[in-house]
Amino acid sequence: MVRVALVTCADGPDVAEDRDLPVLVRALNDAGAQASAEVWDDDRVDWARFDLAVIRSTWDYSWRAEEFTAWAERCGALTRLANPADVVRWNTDKRYLADLAAAGVPVVETRYLAPGDLVELPTAGGEFVVKPASGAGARFAARYTPDEHDTAVRHVRRLHDDGFTAMVQPYMRAVDSGGERALQFFGGKPLHASRKGPVLAPGTPYDQRKTAHPGLTRWTPTADELGVAEAALAAVPGAPELLYARVDLVDGDDGRPRVMELELVEPNLFLWLHPGSLPAVVKRIIGAAES
């Protein structure tokens, strides 16, 4: 019997509920595995007793990124970790978008402002977005017009004061009509896809909690979307074996899909929306634990 840890985080006021976690634990046990949910920073957990640790909902990692990546390296030295620790370290910093762009993958145009950099933001043109390079669930993200320049500068300085690199991106206007699409892969194969509405409403303060997945519905990806998603996965450094991946896409002004985020650490699987995908996920987790 294989032993599988589904890695999560402790409950807290800023942590969303993982609706899939108890369902997945139960399904794995019903399939003959010995599965349990384990908190990543619980020092009492003996990771070496598991055949596989699958990072699932460690949704507090983004404000503890160095601590979390250090844990991933320790855990990966004791058992098989999915996804691997080197992938976790690369993917917890959204400067990976520059790596994807260098590999020819179409991504949302992004500038990075590290602490100490001169804060230069758009003063003309369309709306833009400021967010931290380590973040999840639109935490500390906001949308601005050029007329809100001074407010956006204060936002960047707050991120810098907290030790974060800031990202500046054009607001992708097509999100307001076409939404953002999330293409899920499991065991290297497409699993299912979803679409959500815009997250950043005009005038919403960066430190206000957002609904991370508004209006989530099922989606059938286009050939272009699948092509961009597969190109992004192929560009991950070292061509690692990925148990799971989620590629978040938005359309540019030309109508072609671009990568907004590549989620290789703890993407929400949305199994509650796609219950038919549960057997495939269970099968591939058990197969990874047995290999």
Angle between helices 278-290 and 21-30 (to 10 degrees): 60
CA-to-CA dists, residue 241 to 81, 89, 147, 188, 238, angstroms: 11, 15, 46, 8, 9
Helices and strands: H and E segment counts in the chain: 8, 13
**Active-site entry in 73, 127, 148, 263:** 263
CA-to-CA dists, residue 117 to 112, 156, 166, angstroms: 9, 10, 10
Of 7, 31, 20, the closest CA to residue 80 belongs to 7
For the chain, the distance separating the N- and C-terminal CA atoms, rounded to the nearest angstrom, is 13
What torsion, rounded to 10 degrees, do the Cα atoms 231, 233, 238, 239 define? Answer: -90
CA–CA dist 266, 239 (Å, integer): 19
Give the position of tokens 């601590």.
67
Q: Does residue 256 have an active-site annotation?
A: no
**Active-site entry in 143, 181, 246, 284:** 246
Contacts of 260 (CB under 8 A, 6+ apart): 107, 108, 172, 180, 248, 249, 250
Q: Is the peptide bond before 91 cis (omega within 30 degrees of 0)?
A: no
Q: Does residue 246 have an active-site annotation?
A: yes
Of 168, 191, 171, the closest CA to residue 180 belongs to 171
**Active-site entry in 26, 154, 209, 218:** 218
- Any idea which residues carry the catalytic annotation? 218, 246, 263
